[in-house]
C-alpha cells in the first residue's frame, strides 16, 4: 500500500506566484493515494482558479469563511477535524505572519487555529522578504509551536533575484508528505552518529575542548530513531539525554571516539559525523596538576586521527555524511572537505552567525553533494534534523538505485 493511501490532506493555497504549481501538487498527492481538499485565500485566486483545483482534486474548493451553505454544518470546523495533515503551499510572508499572530480572518487561518492536525508550511517569497527580521521571527515562533517547515529552496525567483525563498518542487513536497506519514521509513537502516565535543587532557584537571553542545547531533539521532532506524550515538561529554531507543556510546577524547567509530562504521548503513572533534591533542599529558610557576606555559600539540577520513577510506565504507562548521568561505571549505575526505554529503553551517550553530537551539545548514546543494533555513535544531535526515535518506536511496 502507498504511504499516502487514504490520508486526508488539506492543501492551503495563499497568494503567491508559486500557486501555479499547486494543480500538479494536488495531482501527485492523489496519485500517491491521498484524498485532497483545497482551501484558497482571495489572493490565491488571482494566480490560479478554484475551478482548476476542483477538477484535479475531485472535491469542491473552499474559499470563504462566510459561505452560508457550508457554515450551516460548521464547515470550517468539519474541515479542520477531517484533516490528517494541512500543507500550506505556497506559504507567503503574509500568511505566515497572520498564522503566527493567531489571526482568524479568513478560512485558511481559521483552520489553522481550529485543527489538531499537523501543519506544514512551504514558504515562497522574495529572498529579501524571507530574510526580513519580521519573517524570521514569525517562522521561529511557528517552529516553537510545532509547525513543520518544508523549505524554502534556493534559486532564481520570479522577480529575477537569486537566493532563498523558492517554494520546494512538487516532488520534494510529496516526498516530505510521505515521510511525515511514514514514521518508519528508515526501519531497514543502521545509522552511526557522532555528536558533541571531545576533551583533550592537559593534566588530571584541565583539558582542551570547544563550544559544541551536542544538540545538533542528538537532534539527528532523535529524528533517525523516530523514522525507524537503528541508531548508535557516539557522543562526547554533553549535558543531554540520549534519545530513547538509541545505543549510546559515551567517550571523552578524540582517540576514544576514533576507536568507537572504526568499530561501528563497518556495521552501519549511514555514518553521520556531526561531532566537533579536536584536531589536536597534548603531546605529553602531565601526570599531576600543573602548577602556576611561570608567566608563560607552552603546550606541544600533535594531530589527532581524522575520524571522518579514516571511516570514509574503509574498504566497506558506509554512506558518509560530514559536517563543516566554518566562520568564513563556508561553501569553498565545505566543498573542499567533501572531495578531500571522500564524503557522499557534507552539511555546512556558518558558526560565526549569531543565533545558530554551537550552543544554540537553532541552526541553518547547506547540504552539499558532488553535484548540487540544498539549503535548510534557520529553524529549531529538531526541525532542521528532520529535514536533514529526510534529505540524507533521499541521497542514499538515489545512490543505491
Active site (annotated) includes residue 246: no
Q: Rounded CA gap, 229 and 268, in Å? A: 10
CA 41 to the chain's CA centroid:
28
Q: Rounded CA gap, 349 and 87, in Å? A: 28
Q: Distance of CA 255 to CAs 114, 198, 261, 274, 280, Å?
A: 53, 9, 10, 16, 10
Active-site residue identified among 154, 159, 268, 274: 159
State the cell numbers at 230.
537503528
Which sign, positive or negative, has the C-alpha torsion 148, 153, 158, 162?
A: positive
Q: Rounded CA gap, 125 and 255, in Å? A: 47
Query: Position of cell 510545532?
Result: 146
Contact of 89 with 167, CB cutoff 8 Å: yes
**Is beta strand 118-123 parallel, antiparallel or unpaired with respect to 280-282?**
unpaired
Collapse the DSSP code of 148 into the 3-class scheme (helix H, G, I; strand E, B; otherwise coil) and give the result.
strand
Q: Buried b / exposed e across 125-148, counting CB within 10 Å, b at 16+? A: bbbebbeeeebbebbbbbbeeebb
Contact of 362 with 355, CB cutoff 8 Å: yes
Closest by CA position to 212, among listed 369, 386, 329, 381: 381
For 78-129, the DSSP string reads: HHHHH-SEEEEEEE-HHHHHHHHTT--SSHHHHHHHH--SEEEEEE-S-HHH
Q: Rounded CA gap, 136 and 149, in Å? A: 12
Q: How far apart are the first and last CA of the chain?
A: 21
The pair phi, psi for residue 174, each rounded to 5°, is -65, -40
**Is beta strand 190-195 parallel, antiparallel or unpaired with respect to 230-235?**
parallel
- Provide the H-helix boundaries in 151-300: 170-181, 215-226, 254-264
Catalytic residue ranges: 159
Amino acid at each position: 500500500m502507498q504511504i499516502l493511501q487514504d490520508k486526508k490532506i488539506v492543501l492551503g493555497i495563499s497568494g503567491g506566484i508559486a500557486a501555479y504549481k499547486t494543480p500538479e501538487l494536488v495531482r501527485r498527492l492523489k496519485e500517491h493515494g491521498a484524498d485532497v481538499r483545497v482551501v484558497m485565500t482571495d489572493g490565491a485566486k488571482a494566480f490560479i482558479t478554484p475551478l482548476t483545483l476542483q477538477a484535479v482534486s475531485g472535491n469542491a474548493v473552499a474559499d470563504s469563511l462566510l459561505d452560508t451553505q457550508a457554515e450551516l454544518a460548521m464547515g470550517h470546523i468539519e474541515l479542520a477535524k477531517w484533516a490528517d495533515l494541512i500543507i500550506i503551499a505556497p506559504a507567503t510572508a503574509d500568511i505566515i505572519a497572520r498564522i503566527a499572530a493567531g489571526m482568524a480572518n479568513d478560512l485558511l487561518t481559521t483552520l489553522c487555529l481550529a485543527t489538531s492536525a499537523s501543519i506544514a508550511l512551504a514558504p515562497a517569497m522574495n529572498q529579501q522578504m524571507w530574510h526580513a527580521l519580521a519573517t524570521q521571527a514569525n517562522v521561529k515562533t511557528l517552529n516553537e509551536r510545532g509547525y513543520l517547515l518544508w523549505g524554502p529552496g534556493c534559486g532564481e525567483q520570479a522577480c529575477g533575484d537569486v537566493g532563498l525563498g523558492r517554494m520546494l518542487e512538487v516532488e520534494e513536497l510529496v516526498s516530505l508528505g510521505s515521510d511525515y506519514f511514514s514514521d518508519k521509513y528508515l526501519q531497514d537502516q543502521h545509522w552511526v552518529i557522532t555528536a558533541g565535543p571531545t576533551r583533550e587532557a592537559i593534566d588530571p584537571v584541565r583539558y582542551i575542548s570547544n563550544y559544541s553542545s551536542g544538540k545538533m547531533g542528538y537532534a539527528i539521532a532523535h529524528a533517525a530513531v523516530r523514522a525507524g532506524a537503528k541508531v548508535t550515538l557516539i557522543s562526547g561529554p554533553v549535558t543531554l539525554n540520549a534519545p530513547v531507543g538509541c545505543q549510546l556510546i559515551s567517550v571523552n577524547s578524540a582517540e576514544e571516539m576514533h576507536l568507537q567509530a572504526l568499530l561501528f562504521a563497518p556495521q552501519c548503513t549511514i555514518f553521520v559525523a556531526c561531532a566537533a572533534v579536536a584536531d589536536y591533542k597534548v603531546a605529553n599529558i602531565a601526570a599531576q596538576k600543573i602548577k602556576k610557576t611561570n608567566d608563560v606555559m607552552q603546550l606541544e600539540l600533535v594531530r589527532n586521527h581524522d575520524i571522518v577520513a579514516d571511516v570514509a577510506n574503509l574498504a566497506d565504507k558506509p554512506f558518509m555524511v560530514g559536517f563543516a562548521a566554518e566562520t568564513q568561505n563556508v561553501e569553498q571549505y565545505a566543498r573542499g572537505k567533501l572531495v578531500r575526505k571522500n564524503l557522499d554529503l557534507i552539511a555546512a553551517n556558518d558558526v560565526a552567525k549569531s543565533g545558530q550553530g554551537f550552543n544554540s537551539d537553532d541552526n541553518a545548514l547547506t547540504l552539499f553533494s558532488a553535484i548540487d546543494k540544498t539549503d535548510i533555513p534557520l529553524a529549531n535544531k529538531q526541525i532542521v534534523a528532520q529535514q536533514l535526515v529526510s534529505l540524507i535518506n533521499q541521497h542514499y536511496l538515489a545512490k543505491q538505485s
